[in-house]
Amino acid sequence: MKQTSAIVLAAGLGKRMNSELPKPLHPICGRAMITHVLDALIPLGLEKVVVVVGHGARLVIEEVSSFFDGRLKLEFVEQHTPLGTGDAVKVALTCFSDAYESNARDSDILILPGDAPLILTETLSELIRVHQEHSSVATLLSVFMGDPTGYGRILRDKHGNVSRIVEEKDADPEEKLLNEVGTSVYVFRQSALTPALRILSPKNAQNEYYLTDVIEVLRNVGYEIKAVTAADESEVAGVNDRAQLALAESELRRRINALHMANGVTMADPGHVYIDKMVEIEKDVTLLPGVILQGTTYVASGSVLGPFVRLQNCRVGSGSRIEFASLCDMKLEDDTVISLAPERHIR
């Protein structure tokens, strides 16, 4: 793969979250939202990952640095004034060598938001593959949505190439009827991206520098813009409020449960089993309804948990049986039996 780096945009204020906690740090399945995005980048073998921070910068840097120490080559840069995604990328490019220097290699840069926790490595890999296979200057990830409200609409020319992206606040009534939308995920050739950013104008409904406008800039100078369409709209959905946070958590929990079941774990009712992402479970474990496994919990084979069990940062030995219990920071030996069932009153 051609030299490729990534920029993760995590500087937004997240006003609709109505929270003092920076939006990238809101937890999903036991981990900060932005860490799920960065997880998807690890297998790509990127040169480096630049994270643009803003509100709550220190907290975001501390959380991400501690979690990904040694697993990603991370750099952080702060967008001090929130002037839009185009400005955020311009700030991030200060971490890159000038592509026009005589000894510099022209690299590709993957750009994605820090509030898309369901994005898959396979989707990003395919986006990069298509981009490099066609030697494109810009390739974007789009998706068809049943309800595109809130997203920028993709406009294509008669040949099917992307001509521009129009943000919803700037779209006319006809453009708002389109249901192919941008996902805020792109791959750009650095040597084309840098000058295009200089041309951006904040003359729009939000008085911001839109990264989406780079597509039209590049198209106007004669470049063809490619697009890869994601199959599942839930994968690329952003998280901007608490309702969307709950939807993302629900989908990620479904994925986690499906993976454990594929690895040999039995669930009597997967819809009522909640497992954090860092939990490890050996095969031939049975989970009954009402089980909540959190933190770094580990469950050995042959154990039966539930109904109504909550374990946080616990290690459960093989062949154990636990029901009606809430335990934290405990190590249980093999064949442990715990039942805190309420007394049954027989009349």
Tell me the pLDDT tens digit for each residue of 227-280. 999 999 999 999 999 999 999 999 999 999 999 999 999 999 999 999 999 999
- Which residues is 331 bridged to in the sheet? 315
pLDDT of residue 208: 93
Closest CA to 32 of 50, 14, 16, 5: 14
What is the distance between the alpha carbons of residues 179 and 325, in angstroms, rounded to a whole number? 48
Which structure tokens are listed for 252? 């990620």
pLDDT of residue 159: 85
Of all helices (H) and strands (E), which one includes residue 91?
helix 85-92
Q: What is the pLDDT of residues 158-169, one digit of tens each?
A: 888 899 999 888
- For 319, the 3-state DSSP assignment is coil
Closest CA to 304 of 290, 312, 197: 290
Tell me the whole-structure pTM to 2 decimals.
Answer: 0.92
Out of 16, 129, 156, 315, which one is annotated catalytic? Answer: 16
Q: How many helices (H) and strands (E) does the chain have?
A: 8, 24
Examine residue 117 and say whether the peptide bond preceding it is cis (omega within 30 degrees of 0): no
pLDDT of residue 206: 87
pLDDT of residue 272: 97
Q: Are 314 and 328 in contact (CB under 8 A)?
A: yes
What is the distance between the alpha carbons of residues 265 and 20, in angstroms, rounded to a whole number? 38
Domains of the chain, each with CATH number or no CATH: 4-241 (3.90.550.10), 263-339 (2.160.10.10)
What is the distance between the alpha carbons of residues 74 and 16, in angstroms, rounded to a whole number? 28
pLDDT of residue 1: 66
Quick check: is 16 catalytic? yes
Residues of the chain with pLDDT below 70 are 1, 99-105, 343-347
What is the distance between the alpha carbons of residues 246 and 16, in angstroms, rounded to a whole number? 14
